[in-house]
Amino acid sequence: MSANGYRDYFKVLGLDRSADADAIKRTFRKLARKYHPDVNPGDKDAEAKFKEISEAYEVLSDPDKRRRYEQFGQYWNQGGAGVGTSGDVDFGRYGNFDDFVNDLLGRFGGSSPGPGGFGFGSGFPGGGFPGGGFNTGFGGGAAAANLDAEAVISISFSDAFHGCERTLAVNEERVQVRIPPGVKTGSRLRLKAKGNLQPGTGRRGDLYLTLKLQEHPIWKLDGDLLRGELPLSLDELALGGEVRVATPDGEATLQVPAGISLGRSLRLKGKGWPIKGGRGDLLLTPVLRLPQQLTEQEQALFEQLRELRSSNPRSGWLQAGRL
C-alpha cells in the first residue's frame, strides 16, 4: 500500500491490467487457498494478505467497480459506492474470515457451490475411471447450507456386472471407492465426508456418485432383466435343436423350439444381472442371420425349398393391411 492508502489491486493479485475475469477468478482461488487462515492458523501476515487479496478480488471482479477503479485510481470510491473496500475491510461485522469470504464470493461473481464453490466441477476428464480427478477449488458460491457434492461417472458394463474398486482424486486426496456388483445407470454411491468443506467449521458434506454404464455390444439392461439377441440360421429357426449361446459367465447350451417366432424370447433363469440375493434372468430374442454369400449347393437347396414351400408367410397379412 502506498502512503496515501492506494492499493494497486492488480499488483496485489500479481496480474497485468489486461487480465480478464477468468484470470482474476483463477488467481484469487489460488491465492485464497494459499493464505486462508485455516491453512495458516495464527499467522497474522497470512491473515493480512488474505484480507488484501479478498479486497482486490471484490473490486476487480465487479465490472462497474473495476471500471471506476481503472478510471479514477485512488479516488475511485470517493462517492461511497461499494462495500467497505476503500481502505481496510470492516471485518467487525463478520464472525470470522470464512463468513467474509462466503459473503464476498456470493455477492461478486459467485455461483452456487457444487459444481464450483468449494466443490466439484465437471467430474472425470475423459468420462470416468481410472486416473480421473474432480475439478475442485476455492471460489464461487455463498455459504452453503448443503455441503453435499455430486458427480456423474462412467463405468464399463463388465465393471458394473462384476463390481470393482477405483481410486479417485478428490480435493487432492486419493479416495478408494468400491463399486458393488449389479449397479445400473442411475445408481448412486455415497462417500461420507468427501464432499464440500466449509472452512473454519470443519464441517464437510458427503460426495454422491451417480453411475452411468457404457453400452455393451450384446447386452442391455431392462430393469432386473438382462437382454440380448440370439442369432439363428434359417434351419435353426425352422427345425430347432440345441445351440451354443453366450452368457455373461461364458458359453451355455440352450434348447431352441422348432418353428420359434422371431418375437419370442427364450429365458435362462439365474444367468442375468446380479440382484439382491442372487442373479436375475437372461432373455435371448432370436434374430435371423442369413449367410452373406450362398454356396452353389445352398443356393440350389433354397430354390428347391421355394418350390416345395406349402404356405404363404404373408397369408392374411395382405388383407389385414388394407385400411
Average pLDDT over residues 246-259: 94
Handedness of CA 262, 268, 269, 270 (dihedral sign): negative
Residue 166 C-alpha cell reads as 477405483
Please tell me whether residue 157 adopts helix, strand or coil conformation: helix
User: At 224, is the pLDDT very low, low, confident or very high (cuts 50, 70, 90)?
Assistant: very high
Which one-letter DSSP state was computed for residue 74?
G
- The yes-or-no verdict on residue 302 having pLDDT over 80 is yes
Sign of CA dihedral 64, 66, 67, 73: positive
Question: For 99-123, what is the mean pLDDT?
Answer: 39
Are 201 and 212 spatial neighbours (Cβ–Cβ below 8 Å)? no
DSSP string, 182-217: T--TT-EEEETT-S-EETTTTEE--EEEEEEEPP-S
- The predicted pLDDT at position 168 comes to 82
Are residues 194 and 242 both part of a single domain? no
Confirm whether 4 is domain-assigned.
no
CA distance 186 to 227: 18
- Percent of the chain beyond pLDDT 90? 41
> Which range marks the domain in which residue 156 is found?
125-213
Is 299 found in the same domain as 236?
A: yes
Q: How many domains does the chain contain in total?
A: 3
Question: Is residue 146 over pLDDT 70?
Answer: yes
Q: Mark whether 38 and 17 lie in a shared domain.
A: yes
Let me know the angle formed at the C-alpha of 172 by 171 and 174, rounded to the nearest 5 degrees.
100
* Mean pLDDT across 78-100: 45
* C-alpha span between 165 and 162 (Å, rounded): 10
Report yes or no on 20 lying in a domain: yes
By the 8 A CB rule, do 271 and 281 touch?
yes
Q: What is the mean pLDDT of the chain?
A: 78
What is the distance between the alpha carbons of residues 51 and 306, in angstroms, rounded to a whole number? 90
Query: Has residue 42 been placed in a domain?
Result: yes
pLDDT at 246: 95
Cell numbers that stand for 170 in this block: 478428490
Q: In sequence order, what are the residues at sequence separation of 6 or more whose Cβ sits closer than 8 angstroms to the Cβ of residue 166?
A: 129, 130, 176, 177, 179
Rounded-to-integer distance, Cα 1 and Cα 7, Å: 5
Assigned domain for 120 exists:
no
69 and 146 share a domain?
A: no
Count of residues for the chain? Answer: 323
Using alpha carbons, list the distances in angstroms from residue 220 to 36, 161, 187, 229. 50, 12, 16, 10
Give 169-188 pLDDT, tens digit per residue.
776 788 889 999 999 999 99
Same domain for 205 and 135? yes
